[in-house]
Amino acid sequence: MASIFEATAGKLVGPAKGGTVTQGTSKSTGVTLNAASGQITMDDDALAAGVEVSFTVTNSLVAATDVVVVNHGSAGTAGAYLVQANTLAAGSFKITVSNVSAGALSEAIVLNFVALKGASS
């Protein structure tokens, strides 16, 4: 894989392989996906307006010094959610999803993520 500094116009740089996983039970249910990138389909449990929910992603490839980027990729109401990765640790991270719309939403949104290797020195 080319480094970010070797990238040329029109070509994406990132992991060539990823994975998918679907939450069960509720939006706070943790998932396991041991890949550098992937898609997480959330449960369609209701999320009230102005409320946020967090869940743990267990991922053996992630270190506490890495950077995880996540976004609302598809399904559900565009612009109704704020999504962030946080609480990175060796083997896991959390994702927090906030409903910023004016009403409750019961949507099985799909989140896209990528883990980028970081260093502390």
Residue 13 has pLDDT above 70, yes or no: no
**Residue found by looking up tokens 């267990």 in the block:** 58
H-assigned helices in 1-121: none
8 A C-beta contact, residue 94 and residue 55:
yes
pLDDT band of 12, cuts 50, 70, 90: low
Strands 92-99 and 52-58: antiparallel
Q: What are the pLDDT digits (tens) for 37-81?
A: 999 999 999 999 999 999 999 999 999 999 999 999 888 898 899
Task: Report the distance separating Cα 78 and Cα 86, nearest Å.
Answer: 22
3-state secondary structure of 96: strand
- pLDDT higher than 90, residue 2: no
Is the per-residue pLDDT at 23 higher than 90? Answer: yes
Cα four-point dihedral sign 71, 32, 27, 88? negative
**pLDDT band for position 9 (50/70/90)?**
low
Q: Share the mean pLDDT of the chain.
A: 88
**Is the separation of the CB atoms in 100 and 72 below 8 Å?**
no
Residue 14 has pLDDT above 80, yes or no: no
Cα-only R_g, the chain:
15
Kindly report, residue by residue over 99-115, the tens digit of the pLDDT.
Answer: 999 999 999 999 999 99
Q: Is 39:73 a contact under the CB 8 Å cutoff?
A: yes
